[in-house]
Amino acid sequence: MPKTLKLFNTLLVVAGAIALVTTGFVFRLEDFPSVAINLGDPAVTGGELVLGISFWTLATFLASALPVQMPGGILVTVSIAPIIAATSLGGPFAGALVALIGTTEIRELRGRVPWYGSLVNHAGLVVSAVACGLVIELIREIAPAGLLSDLFATVVGAVAYFGLNLLIVSVVVGLKVGMPIKQLLVEDSRGFAASLLALAPLGWLMARMYATPGAGWWTTLLFALPLYTTRVAYHRFVEMRDMFTQTIGALAEAVDKRDPFTSKHSQNVRMISVDIGREMRVSAGELEALEWGGLLHDVGKIGVPDNILLKQERLTREERMVMNAHPVLGAEIIAPVTKLAAELPIIRHHHEWYNGSGYPDRLMGDEIPKLARILHCADAFEAMTAARPYRMTPLTNEQALAELRKFAGIQFDPEVVDAFVRTKWAEDVRDPGRHADPRPIPLISQHAARTSQPAFDGPAPGSPAADLA
Ligand SMILES: [Fe+2]
């Protein structure tokens, strides 16, 4: 375990313990009688308070029992609703108790989670619940009393709970796997923040029903069904996403399998592209586009006949034109899939050259979509370091990197090559560095001149980098 992670975990556990003890003294349960389950006598007893806390703890335990695993590996449950309800009714200390005990998972009871892992998880939830309770109490203190302001206080408290919990989880995961925390925050919150926070008003409603005289604790059981259907919706979402990713992976594999020399090519290009994208600090959405674009970039090769795709000798001009149509064909194949709109420019332009002599549209410099420039570099490195029918001995990583450096500014975006050098793929590889004579970004006049040239029908000879199709 990294030292910084150890330190963060220790501080988190200490903070959780201090928060629990302090709120226990400051926000005593007796001051929040509405959290108790009243058994008859209007005066609230200690036993009725314990019964009330136990009820919410059990509700949280049941809501946590069916977690859904998100694509990033984080487990999501609908337990935010009963925790928010308990905090709204019983204050920060009650919220902390319910979060501490109620979120115990079955795998923890079975001893499948190391004790320090459980301690850190629960400390994070306690700190978040205390923050939620403090926010609710603070707003209640300053805002005029009323149902609307109480709802507002609870929803803002839920935002604090969700935000702080997400931050803590992202820091722990970020320190553990060495990923930027900001990126994890964006990746994990995207798509789920809104739906999880939608559970906050539901939690508030549960609390109000529970505290309404004549209604009672049992009315909160009516919320079990909407909570369960929300959980089912999460599960379906993850299932659909997995199915989509697997289908795309299968399609990419089908393309790679046609040519025994390109097995796993798409998967490798995907991994290299994503690593370059991370180094260039592209957005989470762009990283996802690189993932799927990397897998699908050569899908248009489905339309290239075997006698051309598998030909061992050099292609004729006509054959090269058929081969070079694959980016356009690939974009046409993918175009009807609206979910893949962001990947279309990557697929269409992954063979454009930085100096405008690529294909199919002879774009140059920044005209080429950034993600297509990234993929082009990843594609070239992968192709150069793998055996091909026309070059049975692949280049070494040193030779391939030298080619990328040599053709930076001609074929590749120099900034993309710089970013590639910082990835693990170029680790311990001797880097000749940027070209001594930096090539300028192509100018508009060059752009005008190229339109009068005949259409590009083959890569410039002399470069192994130029050989990839
Ligand atoms: Fe290609």
State the Cα–Cα distance between residues 415 and 380, nearest whole angstrom: 15
Grade residue 238 by pLDDT with cuts at 50, 70 and 90.
confident
Q: What is the pLDDT of residues 79-119, one digit of tens each?
A: 888 999 999 999 999 999 999 999 888 878 887 878 888 88
10 C-beta neighbours (distance < 10 Å), count: 14
Grade residue 458 by pLDDT with cuts at 50, 70 and 90.
very low
Ligand 1 center to residue 351 CA distance, Å? 6
pLDDT at 461 over 50: no
Ligand 1 center to residue 325 CA distance, Å? 9
226-to-196, 200, 229 alpha-carbon distances in Å: 13, 13, 5
State the Cα–Cα distance between residues 367 and 453, nearest whole angstrom: 18
Which range has highest mean pLDDT (185-189, 273-277, 426-430, 465-469)? 273-277
Ligand 1 center to residue 292 CA distance, Å? 14
368-to-321, 363, 411 alpha-carbon distances in Å: 21, 6, 12
Ligand 1 center to residue 297 CA distance, Å? 6
**Of 342, 336, 259, 268, nearest in space to 301 by CA:** 259
Ligand 1 center to residue 73 CA distance, Å? 32
Ligand 1 center to residue 442 CA distance, Å? 23
Q: CB of 333 within 8 A of CB of 300? A: yes
Which residues are 76's β-sheet partners? 68
Ligand 1 center to residue 350 CA distance, Å? 7
Helix axes 284-296, 224-258, angle to 10 degrees: 40
What CATH number is given for 259-467 in this structure?
A: 1.10.3210.10
Lowest-confidence region among 92-106, 174-188, 192-206, 364-378? 174-188
Which residues are 144's β-sheet partners? none
Q: How far from chain centre, in Å, is Cα 394?
A: 34
So where are the chain's domains?
A: 3-239, 259-467
Per-residue tokens: 426: 């170029």
Ligand 1 center to residue 308 CA distance, Å? 14
Q: What is the pLDDT of residues 306-353, one digit of tens each?
A: 889 888 888 899 999 999 999 999 999 999 998 899 999 999 999 999
Ligand 1 center to residue 295 CA distance, Å? 11
Specify the amino acid at residue 146. Answer: G
Longest CA–CA span in the chain (Å) reads 95
8-state DSSP, 91 = H
State the Cα–Cα distance between residues 92 and 137, nearest whole angstrom: 8
- Alpha helix stretches (DSSP H) within 178-263: 181-189, 193-197, 199-211, 224-258
Ligand 1 center to residue 456 CA distance, Å? 15
- Which class is domain 3-239? mainly alpha
Ligand 1 center to residue 447 CA distance, Å? 23
| Cis amide prior to 360 (ω within 30 degrees) | yes
State the Cα–Cα distance between residues 141 and 130, nearest whole angstrom: 16
Ligand 1 center to residue 266 CA distance, Å? 10
219 C-beta neighbours (distance < 10 Å), count: 15
Ligand 1 center to residue 143 CA distance, Å? 61
Q: CB of 99 within 8 A of CB of 177? A: no
Ligand 1 center to residue 127 CA distance, Å? 51
Ligand 1 center to residue 27 CA distance, Å? 64
Q: What is the pLDDT of residues 86-96, one digit of tens each?
A: 999 999 999 99
pLDDT at 163 over 60: yes
pTM above 0.85, yes or no: no
Buried b (16+ CB within 10 A) or exposed e, 41-76: eeebeeebbebbbebbbebbbbbbebbbebeeebeb
Ligand 1 center to residue 338 CA distance, Å? 22
Which residues are 412's β-sheet partners? 408
pLDDT at 293 over 90: yes
Which residues are 75's β-sheet partners? 69
State the Cα–Cα distance between residues 469 and 467, nearest whole angstrom: 6
State the Cα–Cα distance between residues 374 and 279, nearest whole angstrom: 11
Ligand 1 center to residue 459 CA distance, Å? 12
Q: Residue 97: exposed, middle, or buried by beta-carbon count in 10 A (0-12, 13-18, 19+)?
A: buried
